[in-house]
A and B are shown apart, each in its own frame.
Chain A
Amino acid sequence: MKGAPRLLEQAAEPILRPVDTFRTVLGRELTLAYRRPADFLNPLFFFLVVTSLFPVAISPLKETLMLIGPGVLWIAVLLSALLPLSTHYGQDFDDGTLEQYLLSGQSLVAICIAKTVALWLVAGLPLVLASLVVASSYGLGPTVFATLSITLAAGSYALCALGAVAAALTVGMQRASALIALLVLPLMVPVLIFGTQAVSLEATNMVSKGPMYLVLAVTGLAATLCPLATAAALRISME
C-alpha cells in the first residue's frame, strides 16, 4: 500500500492557481486576435452594414428610427456576436490545442472563462462601442448612452458565455454555425426583451432601472454557470 504516499509526494508538483491559468490563456487569446484582425473586424463590419440597411429599407424618418433603434441595435449586436462562435473552440479542436488544454492538469473552467472573456473583448466590446456611434444616427441622444452601453455590454457577455457552451457542444461538427445560432438565440430572448425595453424607456425619459437590473441578473447567471457547462461540454465532445 505505497500508493497514497507516492501520490502525495507527486501532488507537490507545481500547479498554477486558476487565476494564473486564466491570465496565461487570456494573454494568448488576445495575442492571437491581434495577429488575426479579421476576428474582430468581421463582426464589426457586419454590425455596421446591418444597422445602416434598416433606415434604407424601413424609413429614414427620425420618429420611426427612434422607435426601431433600440431593437435594431440589440438584434444587430446579437447576430454579429454570433459570427465568431463557430471557430471559438473549433480551431482549438482542429489544431490539437483542446487536447492539450484538457490534459494540462490546469483548471478547465479557468481556461473556459479566459476564452469567454477574450471572445467578449474581441467580438463583444467593439460592438458596444460601435453601437453608441450608430445610436446617434438613429436619433437616440446621449441620454440613452449609459443605459445602452451597460445593457449591451452585459447582454453581449451573456451571449458570449451561452455561445461558448453551444460552441463546446458542437465542437468537431461540420457546419456548426447554424446549430449554434439555434441553440443560443432562443436563450437570449429574455435578455433581448429586457435590454430593448430598458433602452426604449430611457429614450422616452422613463425609469429604465428595472429591466436593466434584469439584464444584469441574467448576465451574472450566465457568466457564473456557463463556464462550468462549457468545461463539461468540452470533455463530452472530445470523447
Chain B
Amino acid sequence: MTRFSFEVRDVSVQRGGRTLLTGFQLMVNPGEVVHLVGPNGCGKTSLMRVMAGLVTPSAGAILWCDQSLPSANTVFQQNMAWLGHHAGLKADLTLRENIEFDNALRRGHSKARLDEVLNGLGVSHRADVSARGLSAGQRRRLALARVLLSDARLWLLDEPFTNLDSAGQAYVRDLIAQHAKSGGSCVFAAHQDIAIDDVELRRLEWAA
C-alpha cells in the first residue's frame, strides 16, 4: 500500500453553536488504529464528520499527505471510506443493486469480488431480495461491505459495532486488524471498550 499520512491539526469542533472540542490533534500513520472513546454527546460523531470532510472545522485543518482539505478533497475521498450512522441503502433496491451502485461510483470491482465480500459479511443469501426487510445489523453489514470495496487506505468508522451481534462484532474486529496489517489505518468511534487481537489500539478518551 502507498505511504500516506492523515493529520488533524488544532481542530475545534462546534455543534449547534456549542464548542465541543478545541485544539484537537491527531496524526495517523499507515498501520495505525485509533479508537475514540467518550460518552454520548461529547462530540465523537461531530469530530468524525469533520475528519471525513463533511463539516468544515471552526478552527484548524485536516491534512491528507500534508495538503489541507478541501483542496485535497478528491484525492482524500478516493483514499478514505466513511461509515456513518445511516447505511446509505435504498430500501427499494436489492442488496446487490445497492452494492453494485456504490461499486460503480467508486472502484468498479468485478462481480466475483462483490460476491466474495457479501459472502464474508454473511448477507449473500439475501443478496437478491429487497433491502427493505433488512434488520439494523444486516444494514450495518452492508454498509461495511461498501467500506471493504472502497479499497480505501483510511477508514473512518463512526460506531461500527452498533447493532451487530457478537459474531458480527468479531468479524469487524478481524477486518480492522487485517486492514491495519496490510498497511491501512482506521479511526473509529465507539463508546464501549474494544480490544483487537494483534493490533495496538491508540485510545483517545475525553469527557463530555
Contacts and interface: CB of A to CB of B under 8 A. Distances in A.
Given A102-B54, A103-B80, A239-B54, A95 B88 contact: yes
Given A100-B88, A105-B73, 10 more contacts: A2-B3, A3-B67, A6-B65, A10-B2, A10-B4, A10-B78, A32-B93, A94-B86, A105-B77, A238-B55
Interface residues of A, number: 32
B87 interface: yes
Contact of B82 (A2, A10, A97, A100): A100
Interface of B: 2-4, 52-56, 65-67, 72-75, 77-80, 82, 84-93, 97, 101-102, 104-108, 143, 146
A31 interface: yes
Nearest to A33: B92
A144 to B, nearest CB: 38
Interface string A91-104: 00011110110111
Q: Give 9 closest A-B pairs by Cβ, nearest first.
A: A96-B86, A105-B77, A3-B66, A96-B88, A35-B92, A100-B88, A105-B78, A24-B104, A13-B78
A3 B72 CA distance: 11
Nearest to B90: A32
A238 B67 CA distance: 23
Interface of A: 2-3, 6-7, 9-11, 13-16, 21, 24-25, 28, 31-32, 35-36, 94-97, 99-100, 102-106, 238-239
Contacts, number: 92
A6 B2 contact: yes
A7 B106 contact: no
Chain B at the A interface: SS class: loop
B86 A24 contact: no
Chain A at the B interface: SS class: helix
A9 B77 contact: no
